[in-house]
Structure 1
Amino acid sequence: MKVLIIDDEVQSRNALRVAVQQSGQALQICGEAGSVVQATELIDALQPGLLLLDIRLGDGNGFDIIEKASWKNFQVIFLSAYSEYAVNAFRVHALDYLLKPINTEELRISLSRALQQQPASQQPYWEDLLSSLKPSHEKIGFAAAEGIHLVDQRDILFCEADNNYSRIRLANGEQIYIAKTLKELEVQLGAKGFLRIHKSYIVNLLHVKKYLHTDDGTLVLSDGSSIPVSHRKKGMVLNLLSGYIS
């Protein structure tokens, strides 16, 4: 099986190359890429069967590559320096999802799994994945005491914990109180572009306008709301936001 390594850090590509070569698997490294543009060109030219794909690249992300490439008959092992960026979607669709720094034994197991599976066609698989990750205007239902609210997901600013209840704050100023914990909401919203940044808050990433270096950090949303970032979540948030800096 031909393997294409895609990572914007030279040191990471070198480490992956050595790990693949020493894995003992029947794999051939056919090329390496450090950007969305380069990776797309190499996929169509080399037609690899497996991508070792960094999620966040300097000129985009791994899903841009999958969408733009004409050749899609490949499996993917996603690589990431942080664990909570659309993790639910990755785990549903990916062959595997490995955190950096990459553990060589975990990578060897993932490579072995790729060789064992090798499905005939991946086209429907990737169409399903891309569809699940694209921003949409789909309605999200919330059951409240007065009835069921159907809300456009783009209209949600953030969710705030209130003991065993949660408060949904909308862009128009409306608030919805529901009998769900924030943990339950995290499961419901985690694959839709929402991020748990604090024990008391989940934010809609579409509305994040600014990060401020106050205490462990503060996110400023499109309506001017200031949402604190917990110390435990600070590294993950900074890693995610750094992907937008050119």
Structure 2
Amino acid sequence: MLKALIVDDEIASLRTLELLLGHFEQHIEIIGVAYSASEGIDKVTKYDPDIVFLDIEMPGGSGFDFLEGCPHRNFDVIFITAYNNYAIKAFKYSAIDFLLKPIEVDELHEALEKVIRRRYSNFDGRNKYFALFENIKEIIPQKLVVSTNDKYECLDVGEIVFVESVPNGTQIKLVNGSQFLANNPFGDICTLLEERNFSFINPNCLINLGMIRKISNKPEGNIELKNHELITVRGEYLERLNHQLENISK
């Protein structure tokens, strides 16, 4: 059974979460509540929780202040927020679990399942919090967190050459030549990267436009990347690629 700490200054929200967690009493035991970031830090030291349900906006210190006050954290975090603001984008890029208020029991169940799987598989989740602190400083997140078989990998978005759908996940190639096989579905990664000047070159591959050195349009689109790798693009994908590059250059 996982030990849970709730850190939230809103009494109504806290009580609602306690009631909802009652549906999962076989897996979760609430071992404490805190009404501020500083009180939460004290109770982490006292109770050593496995999971913390953490509000973002609190008087006297935010949820991020709480995390920075727990540098040796061994717990998972599920953020709770009433605001669908820029922080949500940082959460998504950093693979952080979060719930929007009012909390839906199905969404709570999905978030808990993820945490339970990680806790019982000894999955190393520390990298995603490093990425979160970096991304939360940026209007446009610069770090992308993906999961491999046993941990999270924190990648610089600007160093990704392309991502490609493969039978058992998503292959990611970096400019330094290294590659990662991510467990993340290809479509989930594409949703994030399409807004970052990445473009499809076929239905199963998304390329970083910033990595393109030049394109030869005849007789077909041969893309030369900055690492001198050649990739062929045809038809509507070539037209779309040229259009996007023209817009970037304007």
Give the TM-score, by structure 2 length: 0.51
Amino acid at match of 2:104: N
How far the C-alpha of 1:45 sits from its partner, in A, is: 2.0
Query: Relative CO higher for 1 or 2, CA cutoff 8 Å, sep ≥ 6?
Result: 1
Amino acid at match of 1:39: G
Q: Which runs of 5+ in 1 are unaligned?
A: 140-186, 189-246
Return the index of the structure with the highest Cα Rg.
2
Alignment partners' CA distance in 2, 1:120 and 1:109 = 17
Q: Map of 1:140-179 to 2, 5 A cutoff?
A: none
Q: Please say if residues 7 and 33 of structure 1, whose CA atoms lie closer than 8 Å, have aligned partners that are also in contact.
A: yes
How far the C-alpha of 1:93 sits from its partner, in A, is: 2.5
How far the C-alpha of 1:115 sits from its partner, in A, is: 0.7
Alignment partners' CA distance in 1, 2:94 and 2:23 = 27
How far the C-alpha of 1:135 sits from its partner, in A, is: 6.5
Amino acid at match of 2:135: S
What is the RMSD computed on CA atoms of the aligned residues?
Answer: 3.0
Report the number of matched residues: 144
Match of 1:126 in 2: 129
Alignment partners' CA distance in 1, 2:84 and 2:138 = 20
* 114-123 or 43-52: bigger deviation: 114-123
How far the C-alpha of 1:70 sits from its partner, in A, is: 3.7
- Identity rate, percent: 32
Amino acid at match of 1:83: N
Match of 1:104 in 2: 105
Alignment partners' CA distance in 2, 1:64 and 1:114 = 22
Q: Please say if residues 94 and 135 of structure 2, whose CA atoms lie closer than 8 Å, have aligned partners that are also in contact.
A: no
Amino acid at match of 2:103: I
Is residue 72 of structure 1 aligned with residue 73 of structure 2?
yes
Amino acid at match of 1:129: L
How far the C-alpha of 1:25 sits from its partner, in A, is: 4.2
Alignment partners' CA distance in 2, 1:134 and 1:126 = 13
Amino acid at match of 2:6: I
Is residue 63 of structure 1 aligned with residue 58 of structure 2?
no
Match of 2:52 in 1: 51
CA 126–69 in structure 1, closer or farther in 2 if over 3 Å, else same = same
Q: Please say if residues 7 and 35 of structure 1, whose CA atoms lie closer than 8 Å, have aligned partners that are also in contact.
A: yes
Q: Please say if residues 38 and 61 of structure 2, whose CA atoms lie closer than 8 Å, have aligned partners that are also in contact.
A: no
Alignment partners' CA distance in 1, 2:107 and 2:116 = 15
Alignment partners' CA distance in 2, 1:37 and 1:113 = 27
Deviations, residues 175-227 of structure 1 (Å, cap 9, x unaligned): xxxxxxxxxxxx55xxxxxxxxxxxxxxxxxxxxxxxxxxxxxxxxxxxxxxx
Alignment partners' CA distance in 1, 2:25 and 2:36 = 28
How far the C-alpha of 1:94 sits from its partner, in A, is: 4.5
Q: Please say if residues 55 and 80 of structure 1, whose CA atoms lie closer than 8 Å, have aligned partners that are also in contact.
A: yes
Alignment partners' CA distance in 2, 1:39 and 1:71 = 14
Alignment partners' CA distance in 2, 1:104 and 1:25 = 16
Amino acid at match of 1:125: K
Amino acid at match of 1:126: Y
Alignment partners' CA distance in 1, 2:21 and 2:77 = 14
How far the C-alpha of 1:60 sits from its partner, in A, is: 2.1
Q: Please say if residues 72 and 126 of structure 1, whose CA atoms lie closer than 8 Å, have aligned partners that are also in contact.
A: no
Deviations, residues 122-175 of structure 1 (Å, cap 9, x unaligned): 443323322332479xx9xxxxxxxxxxxxxxxxxxxxxxxxxxxxxxxxxxxx
**SS of 1:3 mapped into structure 2:** strand
How far the C-alpha of 1:65 sits from its partner, in A, is: 0.6
Amino acid at match of 2:8: D
